[in-house]
Amino acid sequence: MFTLILRRPRPLSGALGLLSARSARSYRGSAPELPAARVRGTFLDFFRKEHGHLLVPSSPVRPRGDPSLLFVNAGMNQFKPILLGTADPRSEMASYRRVTNSQKCVRAGGKHNDLEDVGRDLTHHTFFEMLGNWSFGDYFKEEACRMAWSLLTEHYGIPADRLYVSYFAGDAASGLPADEETRQIWLDIGVPPRRLLPFGLKENFWEMGDSGPCGPCTEIHYDHIGGRDAATLVNTDSPDVVEIWNLVFMQYNREVDQSLLLLPQFSVDTGMGLERLVNILQGKRSNYDTDLFTPLLHAIHQISRVRPYSGRTGAADVGKVDMAYRVVADHIRTLSVCIADGIHPGMSGAELVLRRILRRAVRFCVEVLQTPQGALASLVPTVSHILGDVYPELHREADRVTDIINENEAHFLSSLQQGSRLILRTLNSVDYKHGVFPASVAWSLHRDLGFPLDLVDLMLEERGVQVDRQELDRLITESHKVASEVRSDVRAPVMLDVLSLAELQRLGVPHTDDGLKYQYRLEQGRYVFPACHATVLALYDGQTLVSEVSGGQCCGVILDQTCFYSEQGGQSHDQGYFTRDGLQDVVYSVEEVVLAGGYVIHQVTAADSLKTGDQVQLHLDQVHRLSCMVKHTATHILNFALRKVLGSSVQQRGSHVAADRLRFDFSVKGSLSVSQLQQVERCVNDIISANQIVHSQVLPLQRARSIRGLRTVDEVYPDPVRLVSVGVPVSELLDNQTDTQTSVELCCGTHLLQTGAIEDLVIVSERQQVKGISRIIAVTGQEATRAREVGQVLLQEVDSLSVRLSDSAPSSLDSAQRLAKEIGVLSDAVDNTPIPQWQRRELQGRLKALQRTSNTGVRKLEAREAAVRAQAVLEKNGRREVLVDCVDTDSLSVVMKTVNQLSSASPRSYVMLLAHQRHSGKVLCACQVPKDSKSLPASDWAVAVCHYLGGSAGGSALVAKGTGSSSDITDALRWAEQFAHQKTQQ
């Protein structure tokens, strides 16, 4: 239990009437005068022009450095650093007080997942726009409520008698009193008591997560019917009474132990769905009947072979045609927005969710709407037309979005065919007496081919077969468990919470001076890093600030100054250790270095006690730092080279700089060719060889942005910002208003002073992560030299193999198989050894050709050997009805080919051959039966015999194979023949 501290903010300037004449009139909707664009514009102008809010553009739907989210799913996501107190104090974000925007949001995974509901009703969406206004330590409850009421009733003209308001009723178990302050504000505004409704934690207390800022909220609900008392329908999921606006008052912090403490700064976070608001203002009962969707529904009808959209749901929607319209209209908006923001369909995380959305849309297009291939992507221009004026990236990226959707659709349709064939093959090769389909096959279809599990169920249902549901659930659970364990293995750094950061500021603890991380120099070709002596200003034990920690305790250490680089901008944090004055032989290893709210936090496990005021000496791992500097400067040069070779459309989509290698993700339509890889490497190494000077300078952010050709990524940059240029002084870039052919980027990382220290760069891997996004892995220096040397060794081995194969073909099957195996081993080495990627591609092409030649030779020799074996078996046994014998070979392929030749020579015979490998005891088995045989399927025969031999088999009704083991196969041959006679004579 704790005491509440209530504050009454300053009132709004000017008196507000309870109701305007317009809002008192009966509400009839106003579609012609309030299109969606005007609804959005009215909201933003109201807060920006009338109430002094800063208009902040929507962030991309890919979260900025927030691994807890798959997608941006609320307007507050981009402002979490302010709410958590971690915003860089030099950034524009740290100065925000009143803010408004319309945020692109996707709810299709994680906590908020509406994917399966989309299409079934008239309101759910995977993509929507969230209108919002925020106060960060400025106004609070009263002004927020008055502004909301004024906008809805006076500016939008929604009748007050259609609105109901909910507020937090309190929760005794949490020690939370009712939010009587908010209730009184609404009464003062003029909301009748009967329309002011209390609700509990679930409805009216908002939390960011398991811990962090939270607080009571008040919601405004709208009654579509009107002229009645609809209070009992509020928060009952009634389609007639819907929530339209949520005003959250963040005044508490949820601690890890679930207790609640008052925040040092109160904030307001509001959210109102544009689609639902437009629905109301245009007098509709369905979001899909508004001008945000009707152009899309019309475009879908133009490319489909079904009736026009009629808005039906449930049983009335015969054939699920209207559901399909809604699914496709919703999903193409989501796909367009996500792909334009750099999220592409893929195999994990947000990319996997987007892949499912695309495939769900394709299925409804093909199966229900009967559209031709490519129809889904043809809707992209319509999305751009509807949303592109407010989100210009939709216009800019339209062609790329179209290409990616088309490529993924083609791949999915191909996967459907492949999956269908696999299902049929499985059904034909396994005994289905109980009608149970192997869960492992269903899961493999889903995991590897992206085959929807519900589609597997439908295809099997048509054949009277079901998946082993219990086993499938086990596989799904196991997969989730493995993924969860992988995530849990990543140790989270010690991060100060919002209360501890505020306490540091209250105590006057200065922000960490980390300028020494840049103060290194070159002396006679060697980098000299500055010494750093510092004072412990604060200690954090994971929950609160403390004055002392004992030996063995994990803690966060804040110093007055540091030479350590904190992890940011894709560069790994520095490594090293502290020593304490007076205790020089005790080492405090630095495990993590992170930046939060202007404070650099060094995570250490204290080797001995440590307290505030202690003096420490910082010891930087200089080898690790220099390696990171090499990789970071190389990353900038690589980024420049890619754009120079591939064109200006290349966009950085992520990077990571570590001591051993660099990773760089970028947008490109397909994988790079051998020639392009060589050109990029050559461009990079020309700059390295020139030993160009790396210039850096701190500039005002606006001035830095004026430089043409400047490379930026989607980040919140500090102001002033650090600019890094290769080969050209920053002063020249500022004076030159033409695109400069050099690498120039905003970057907080540590860089070389001259490019020559990179020595060499080799791209050892380049592949498409998802359609349209490639990932490069590169090494530098000695690792690059080794990669080139190993590449030359592998080239010589491939050359040698080529000569041996072209000089003379193998004369025996054994020698041909040994050569084929040798090619396979060399192929594995080429695939998995760090060598230049361009060389890997060349060698892979040559080895595939050699493998084809080798395989052809092996097949010819196998056929020749099989002919000899078949002739010997026929001479020994004649053309009997049941022909069971043994052959001398180590190749299952030879056994099968021999069986096939015997069956060709004697098509009415039931043929089985066993091959006994005496040195290992392994028995190879193959059989074939006449085409019209109904009494004895080949698969049954092989399974029975191999089971007798303690092994397993599989195949079709006509041909089957398997293995077993035995010291003597005489009994097995006799048993196999008896089994066949028994079955064929029934």
Q: Tell me the DSSP string of 92-148.
A: GGGG-SEEEEEEEEE-EETTEE-GGGTTTSSS--SEEEEEEEEEESS--HHHHHHHH
Q: How far is CA 959 from CA 428, 471, 910, in A?
A: 12, 29, 11
Do 836 and 792 contact (CB within 8 A), yes or no? Answer: no
**Residues 699, 705, 711, 716, CA torsion sign:** positive
Tell me 309's DSSP state: P
Cβ neighbours of residue 317 closer than 8 Å, sequence gap 6 or more: 323
Residue 685 sits at φ, ψ, to 5 deg, of -70, -25
Q: Is 446 exposed, middle or buried (0-12, 13-18, 19+ CB in 10 A)?
A: buried
CA atoms within 13 A on the CB side of 631: 28
> Please, what's the b/e burial string for 555-570 (b: 16 or more CB within 10 A of its CB; e: otherwise)?
bbbbbebbbbbbeebb
**747 annotated as belonging to a binding site for a ligand:** yes
Q: Tell me the DSSP string of 231-275.
A: GGGTTTT-SSEEEEEEEEEEEEEE-TTS-EEEEEEEEEEEEEEHH
Q: Are strands 532-540 and 761-770 parallel, antiparallel or unpaired?
A: unpaired
Which residue reads 């007639």 in tokens? 240
- Angle in degrees, 0-180, between the axes of helices 349-363 and 321-340, rounded to the nearest 10: 150
Token pair recorded at residue 170? 């309190």
Tell me 748's DSSP state: -
Do 122 and 314 contact (CB within 8 A), yes or no? Answer: no
Token pair recorded at residue 918? 């005496």
Comparing C-alpha atoms, which of 110, 72, 77, 235 is closest to residue 164? Answer: 235
Which DSSP helix (H) or strand (E) runs through 207? strand 205-207
Q: Where are the alpha helices (DSSP H) in 489-528?
A: 498-506
Comparing C-alpha atoms, which of 748, 843, 735 is closest to residue 791? Answer: 843
Residue 551 sits at φ, ψ, to 5 deg, of -60, 140
Comparing C-alpha atoms, which of 651, 654, 679 is closest to residue 664? Answer: 654
Cα–Cα distance measured from residue 938 to residue 955, given in angstroms and rounded to the nearest whole number: 7
Which DSSP helix (H) or strand (E) runs through 620? strand 615-620
Cα–Cα distance measured from residue 779 to residue 785, given in angstroms and rounded to the nearest whole number: 9
Cα–Cα distance measured from residue 741 to residue 729, given in angstroms and rounded to the nearest whole number: 13
Token pair recorded at residue 401? 């979005």
How far out from the chain centre does Cα 270 lie?
A: 27
**751 annotated as belonging to a binding site for a ligand:** yes
Cα–Cα distance measured from residue 8 to residue 4, given in angstroms and rounded to the nearest whole number: 13
Do 207 and 251 contact (CB within 8 A), yes or no? Answer: no
Cβ neighbours of residue 789 closer than 8 Å, sequence gap 6 or more: none
- The total number of residues shown for the chain amounts to 986
> For the chain, how many helices (H) and strands (E)?
27, 36
CA atoms within 13 A on the CB side of 692: 21
Cα–Cα distance measured from residue 739 to residue 271, given in angstroms and rounded to the nearest whole number: 41
Cα–Cα distance measured from residue 706 to residue 716, given in angstroms and rounded to the nearest whole number: 17
What residue numbers does the annotated binding site cover? Answer: 632, 636, 747, 751
What residue numbers does the annotated binding site for Zn(2+) cover? Answer: 632, 636, 747, 751
